[in-house]
Amino acid sequence: MTSQDDNNGNAGDVPDPKPPHEVGPSEFARLFEENRDRFVRLAHAIRRRPGGDASLETMDYVQDASCEFLKKPRDVKSESHFVQLFKGFLVNSFRGKRRDAKAQKRGGGAAPGSLPTTLGVAQDAQGPLTVAARHESEDLLLARLASLDPLERRLITMRLWDERSWEELATELELASPEAARKRYARALERLQDE
């Protein structure tokens, strides 16, 4: 405890702020149980949003968020910080399921999270070396994209970044069929990874 003056000049005991620390499985379980009702209500509200999957149970979103949190524990400053982090995981779970459902509806299977790179730099990693590695990885990806046939390059960018359907891609790129677009896309991604 530290002693600090309040607005009236009176000394009062204020707890020292807890330094950020990694939440292990046992602490996660405790924090999760203390906030379970709040998370379930939020997941239920998310499930009912436009684009939510009514076939999924509310707890599916909560379980997905829990798994993602435990895969890579975060530094947590306080219980309220944990709640905010977990809410973010719930929203990301919803977005991922919605993105995959859209991709499935278009006939393309689950949507890929990102283009492949060989350096594997985590999206949320920090630090000058990590930033340099990420830039190098981005440069490598752009060089690989540039080495592809222009049609394949357009196919990949339109599919991943513009989220076009196979039918739209076949029409716009003047390919024989949506199936031809899908096969050409798969071959182009393989070449992108092999280079």
Domain containing 173 — which CATH number? 1.10.10
What is the number of domains present in the chain? Answer: 2
Residue 2's nearest CA partner among 19, 15, 11 is 15
> What is the mean pLDDT of the segment spanning 108-135?
52
Determine the pLDDT at residue 171: 92
Domain of 141? Answer: 128-194
For residues 99 and 150, membership in a common domain is answered with no
pLDDT exceeds cutoff 50 at 16:
no
Banded pLDDT at 174 (limits 50, 70, 90)? very high
Residue 117 domain-assigned (yes or no) = no
pLDDT exceeds cutoff 70 at 128:
no
For residues 101 and 21, membership in a common domain is answered with yes
- Render pLDDT for 144-162 as a digit per residue (tens, 0 to 9): 778 888 888 888 888 877 7
- Distance spanning both ends of the chain, measured CA to CA: 59
The rounded distance, in Å, linking the Cα atoms of 88 and 35 is 14
pLDDT exceeds cutoff 60 at 142:
yes
Let me know how many helices (H) and strands (E) the chain has, helices first.
7, 4
pTM of the model: 0.43
Residue 148 domain-assigned (yes or no) = yes
Residue 143's nearest CA partner among 165, 119, 175 is 119
Cα angle, residue 35 at apex, residues 29 and 41 outer, rounded to 5°: 125
Determine the pLDDT at residue 107: 62
> In whole numbers, what is the pLDDT of the chain averaged over residues?
73
Residue 6 domain-assigned (yes or no) = no
Residue 1 domain-assigned (yes or no) = no
Among 21-25, 95-99, 114-118, 173-177, name the one with the lowest average pLDDT.
114-118
Percentage with pLDDT > 70 across the chain: 65
> What is the mean pLDDT of the segment spanning 51-75?
73
Residue 24 domain-assigned (yes or no) = yes
Give φ, ψ of 175 to 5 degrees: -95, 160
The residue out of 53, 76, 106 marking a domain boundary is 106
Residue 152 domain-assigned (yes or no) = yes
For residues 33 and 97, membership in a common domain is answered with yes
Residue 7 domain-assigned (yes or no) = no
pLDDT exceeds cutoff 70 at 114:
no
